[in-house]
Structure 1
Amino acid sequence: MARRVYLHIGAPKTGSTYVQNVLWHNRDRLAESGILLPGSAVAHDQAMADLRAASWRDAEVYWTWDRLAGRARDWSGDVIISNEGLGAATAEQAARAVRSLGSAEIHVIVVGRDLWRTFPSFWQQSVRARGGWRFEEFLRAVEEGRCEVFWENHTAGRMLRRWGELVPAPRRHLVTVPAPGSPHEVLWHRFAGIVGITEGRYELPEPTPNPSLGAAEIELLRRVNRKLGDRYPLRTPYRRVVHRHLVDAVLRRRPNELRFGIGPDRADWVRDLAERQISELREFPCQVVGDLDELRPARSTPGGSPGAVDDAHLLDVAIETIVDMLGHAEALSDAGEHQPPDAFTRLRHRAAGGVTRRLRRAIRREQR
């Protein structure tokens, strides 16, 4: 039975990818120190989708939540399970997850980020997950109390209450994302300190680039999503086609010169929300790693709404995107033509060659 299990449950866009990359990069070293990362990053993602019974989950996958929890229970030391989608689990799903880990000492780790950066990130992620609503529509929905999914799935307070109520206060951990411009190692050291990972023993790889799309690029993707109709309705097909060939291969590589953000007209509103959030977190019993003051908006984001991008500029970006996608398609085609045959293909050709030789010998015998 595992001694301790650390559930790193989110929130999304709070440096989770960087922390996870460091963890998986050092998986063997962690195991030598008695800390298990069960399965793989894909396993954690599949188990999260299974736990949440998400509508977009793949019907047939190897890793379910029960399988991952079983691996955790079989380990005699400490275990880390990390996926930013776990924080969106319902109270019942979270309770099931904790129960499934047996008598292990469960710790819940939540990471919080200031709202000024979180609002644009949430909306962009929703578009990159096949959403089609405008940025202004999203902000109005939040203002009017019509977007509970944002607060439930992307804010530390709601996650801490759902998951934190399942464990004693000393095992609830809130990590704050450092202010813009801080060294990326700061977030890792905060996380590592909770888990008891000794500094200096582990390699810190450079952060994997995951740039935000510019105003024109995200607006182009939003309009493409609206035109897709019922094509690629689930997460895996959408990622396999749209993410791979449009977002990752082209849009993320563009200069993305037009930035976007909330804008100064909503600055006071965001500051008020931030103060309310900080006040609630101060009152909730948990272990804060970092500083709640880092949840205050640090600075304004330059640029306006993606919806304000004029059609002429958007047309130029669309044409350039098509040209870049043609280059991407050509590279894939060239790679396929020069790729050496796999083992199955070689065996098939060898078998076909043998059959041909035997037929030729048989024909020659008949001719004699």
Structure 2
Amino acid sequence: MSRVVHLHVGAPKTGTTYVQDRLGLNSRSLARHGVHVPTGSPLVSPALFQFRAALDLLGQDWGGRPGHADGAWDQLVRKIRRTSGTVVVSHEILAPATPDRVARAMADLADSEVHVVYSARDLARQLPAAWQESIKQGRKWSYRRFLDRCERGNSWFSRAFDVPSVLGTWGAGLPPERIHVLTVPHSRVTGGDSLWLRFCRATGIDPAWAPVDSERANRSLGVAETQVVRQLNRRIKRATRREAEYDELIREMLAQDQLVRRSSAPVRLPPERFDWAEAEADRWIEWLRGSGVDVVGDLEELRPQRPAEGEKWRDPDKVGAKKQLRTAIDALAAMTQEAAGRPDPERQLVRRVRAQAQRLRQS
């Protein structure tokens, strides 16, 4: 049985949500052309199923009850082994996997021709997006502390973003032509479409096989909105932030929907961090040019673009009280409307009991 498995391992904040959603939306069409995006059941999206499989492979347990991902990786491997043609597995949390976890993945897929796909983005855009994402996920660190840890290389994001480290681990033992690096375009206007076309080229997918576009994207918050969510995180107990209701209410409804509609200064890389970001880009580009891996895109897109002369930088850690108050009021209004619109389970139970009692009296 001939089988090619493309492991899209990240990086975070490089359009992975868009790619995964588009794969899921077009999974049936892709399957008709021999491209398979495995899932657990028709009721579970490929993105969620593969997220759980990635968690299981990494020995981690995010965003659910304890043990919710147990066995998911083995289930994914069984599905892959029953498939011929092309298989696509995608999740960005795989990027900073340790050598022993990568070795397990490669051993489990030893009967397939494995390719590694990795999308890379310049740090001037990637780091601000990563800090916002961490705040959406419940973290409460300041922007400065986040950047300091990234510069020192001791944060999860910095490990996931480090091109030589990630590809050195995932590409160990693979010929360079099986390692595909997609650069993320600087332009926001054409970025999503260009990235998808580059992903298709790397995986051998004809774009015509996936005609349904995705509207999913992790939209950016401004400095005021991010600071308000951060302050909210600081006041919520850690146990509460681990519950699914936090993710649904704060991340999905508030941070991903209501607050992104507001307009405030964007989160950007501080001017004094550009020298370091440019040095990192030089290191990445030099490694890629000497590695022989397949680069889809332009390596120059990995270089950060400095802001225009005279453009003012806004410190996300120092947002004025009035701006925070206006944002907080908007957030409170949105959450109040959401709470008012949700059914009360206790009241619904009382109504059902009363209705049943009425039916019994009438019978």
Q: Classify the TM-score, shorter chain.
A: 0.7 to 0.9
User: Mapping of 1:313-324 within 5 angstroms?
Assistant: 313-324=323-334
Whole-angstrom CA distance in 2 between matches of 1:281 and 1:235: 41
Conserved 8 A contact 2:21-2:47: no
Q: State the 1:29 CA deviation.
A: 1.2
Report the alpha carbon displacement of residue 5 of structure 1 after superposing the two structures with TM. 0.5
Matched, 1:210 2:228: no
Match of 1:260 in 2: 267
Q: Find the structure with the greater CA-based Rg.
A: 1
Q: How far apart in 1 are the matches of 2:165 and 2:306?
A: 24
Determine if contact 1:249/1:325 at 8 Å carries over to the other structure. Answer: no
Indicate the residue corresponding to 2:337 in structure 1: 327
- What is the aligned partner in structure 2 of residue 275 from structure 1? 282
Name the residue aligned to 2:295. Answer: 288
Deviation of 1:109 (Å): 0.3
Deviation of the 1:77 alpha carbon: 1.7
Q: 1:48 aligns with which of 45, 49, 54?
A: 54
Q: Deviations over 1:22-76 (max 9, x none)?
A: 2112111111111111102110011111111114354243761010111011102
Paired residue type of 1:46:
R
- Quote the offset at 1:101 in angstroms: 1.8
Q: Secondary structure at the match of 1:106?
A: strand
**Secondary structure, counterpart of 1:12 in structure 2:** coil
Amino acid at match of 2:176: A
- Shift, 1:83, TM fit: 0.9
SS of residue paired to 1:102 = coil
**Residues 316-353 of structure 1, C-alpha deviations (whole Å, 9 max, x = no match):** 2212221222122223349x99x9x9xxx99x999877
Matched, 1:33 2:33: yes
Report if the CA contact (8 A) 1:128-1:221 is conserved.
yes
Instruction: Tell me the CA shift for residue 128 of structure 1.
Output: 1.4
Q: How has the CA–CA distance of structure 1 residues 182 and 316 changed in structure 2, closer, same or farther, with 3 Å as cutoff?
A: closer
Distance 1:236 1:94 in 2: 29
Unmatched segments (≥5 aa) in structure 2: 40-45
Aligned partner of 1:169 in structure 2 is 176
SS at match of 2:92: coil
Q: What's the counterpart of residue 7 of structure 1?
A: 7
**SS class of match (2:138):** coil
The Cα shift of 1:245 comes to 4.5
Paired AA for residue 28 in structure 2 = D
Query: So what's the TM-score if we normalise by structure 1?
Result: 0.85
User: Who is 1:109 aligned against?
Assistant: 117
Query: Which of residues 288, 309, 313 in structure 2 aligns to 1:303?
Result: 313
Cα pair 1:219 1:307 within 8 Å, conserved: yes
SS state at 1:232 partner? helix
Task: Quote the Cα distance in structure 2 between the aligned partners of 1:350 and 1:79.
Answer: 52
SS at match of 1:288: strand
**2:317 partner SS:** helix
Moved over 4 A (4+): 348-357
With over 3 angstroms needed to count, the CA separation of the structure-2 counterparts of 1:237 and 1:48, relative to structure 1, is farther
Q: Secondary structure at the match of 1:262?
A: coil
Q: Relative to structure 1, is the Cα distance of residues 249 and 270 closer, same or farther in structure 2, using a 3 angstrom cutoff?
A: closer
1:226 maps to 234
Of 77-86 and 318-327, more deviation after overlay is shown by 318-327
Alignment partners' CA distance in 1, 2:202 and 2:267: 35
1:4-153 mapped onto 2 (5 Å cutoff): 4-39=4-39, 40-56=46-62, 58=64, 59-61=66-68, 64-143=72-151, 145=152, 147-153=154-160
Cα distance in structure 1, aligned partners of 2:223 and 2:193:
29
> In 2, Cα distance between the equivalents of 1:350 and 1:326?
29
1:117-153, Cα deviation, whole Å (9 max, x unpaired): 011112111111211110011222334x253433312
C-alpha offsets along residues 176-228 of structure 1, whole Å, 9 cap, x if unaligned?
Answer: 11122452321111111122112334314154243111101111111111111
Unpaired runs of at least 5, structure 1: 361-368
* Equivalent residues of 2:21, 2:214 under 8 A apart: no
Contact 2:23–2:210, Cα closer than 8 Å, also in 1:
no
Specify which of 205, 213, 233 is matched with residue 197 of structure 1: 205
**Aligned residues of 2:35 and 2:88 also touching (Cα < 8 A):** yes
Does the 8 Å CA contact 1:7/1:109 hold for their aligned counterparts?
yes
